[in-house]
Amino acid sequence: MRSLEQKLKTAFIISAVALSIIGLVFVHSAGSYWGQVHYADSSPFIVKQGIYMAVSIFVAFMLMKGSWTSSQSFWTAFYYITIIMLVAVMIPGIGAVRNGSQSWIALGPFSIQPAEFVKVALIGKLACNMKQSAGKSPFRLSHFTLILLPAALIMMQPDLGSAVIMIVSAFVILFLAGYPLSFFAVLGFTGVGAFIALIAAAPYRLERIKSYIDPWNDPLGTGFQAIQSLFAIAPGGLFGHGYGNSRQKYLYLPEPQNDFIFSIIAEETGFIGAAFVLLLFSILLISAFGIAIRTHDFKAFLITAGMASMIIFQTFLNVGVVSGLLPVTGVTLPFISYGGSSLLTTWMAAGIILHFAFLKKRS
């Protein structure tokens, strides 16, 4: 009989691969008409996503096997490289503007979104800087410098969704490292004030809040995506319209292969299909945290739990947005949404989790 550790590893790998295959299948369905209209080809998205998936799994395998994944120097170098990339994004001629945000570095037909990579880099770097202490708060100002520097650079793009995911993942590490609950209570009050200030600094965020409360107040403007997403999910019923039979992908839901791909999955496969996807994410979550609590040391535990938290919180945020439970933030669905940077960083996180899962066996 296989050990519990082996079952956790197997469950994690199977759920991650299954989610990526589902993503590949539905990127093709959701993006086929968009590709025909904009590129005169129904297959550009699945071809690129296939390439992204192959590269991502290869990188994940290298991270899983590489001894340098456990090295503090690796995480330090990775962190500062991503900071340099975030600065480069703001330089005219290097950074590319899409959907109102200057968040990409264009490399010919492909592009890189540094905000995705810094989420992974920060988790590793922050975890390496933590020291396990018995009954004492590990509070250090340098921890917050590591978090606030990339957060400020991401907000300058602006990209609120990526910043929130990164900060939440970092705070999970702080919590697990022993920061007291009173600290997070104070931080919560401070965060509310900061959130209000961010809304005041950018009026479009206030419009998003208004459209979240009542999307029908501006159905052709700020409420458009939320309404069209609900128009995809609601008619799906129990079993959906069938694969490839989405109606909302015909230019009603903008770029359905990206942030709102879960809407298309719900429309074509119904409640059963959507619930199955959420079940796979649940298995991924349980197995990842099961792996985390069985890691060989404190640093490995923090990194593994941080990577798992990043994936699951981003999933929660994306599904909450497309189902109308949260305001539109523009974040991808891990493993599933179209996009090289998103898929690569998600698989990097998976590879790092598996690195620490198999580390005992290699040592």
Q: What is the pLDDT along the chain (363 residues), one digit of tens a residue?
A: 468 889 999 999 999 999 999 999 999 998 888 877 767 666 778 889 999 999 999 999 999 998 889 889 999 999 999 999 999 998 887 877 777 778 888 777 678 899 999 999 999 999 998 865 544 566 678 888 999 999 999 988 888 889 999 999 999 999 998 888 888 888 778 877 777 776 666 666 677 777 777 788 777 777 788 888 888 898 888 999 999 888 888 878 888 888 999 999 999 999 999 999 999 999 999 999 999 999 888 999 999 999 999 999 999 999 999 998 888 887 899 999 998 899 999 999 999 999 999 875 443
- Angle between helix axes 224-233 and 298-322 (nearest 10 degrees) is 90
Instruction: Pick the closest to residue 304 from 120, 143, 151, 179 (CA basis).
Output: 120
pLDDT at 188: 78
Residue 351 CA: distances (Å) to CA of 224, 310, 314, 318: 37, 14, 17, 22
Which residues are within 8 A (CB) of 258 and not within 5 positions of it... i.e. 6 or more apart?
332, 337, 338, 339
Q: What is the pTM of this model?
A: 0.90
End-to-end Cα distance, the chain: 23
Give the residue carrying structure tokens 């669905």. 333
Amino acid at 273: G
pLDDT at 134: 43
pLDDT at 362: 41
Which residues are within 8 A (CB) of 343 and not within 5 positions of it... i.e. 6 or more apart?
20, 23, 49, 52, 53, 56, 335, 337
pLDDT at 202: 65
pLDDT at 95: 78
Distance CA 256, CA 260 (A): 5
Distance CA 132, CA 199 (A): 37
pLDDT at 1: 43
Distance CA 207, CA 201 (A): 12
pLDDT at 211: 73
Name the region of 242 (left: φ>0; alpha: ψ -120 to 50; beta: rest): left
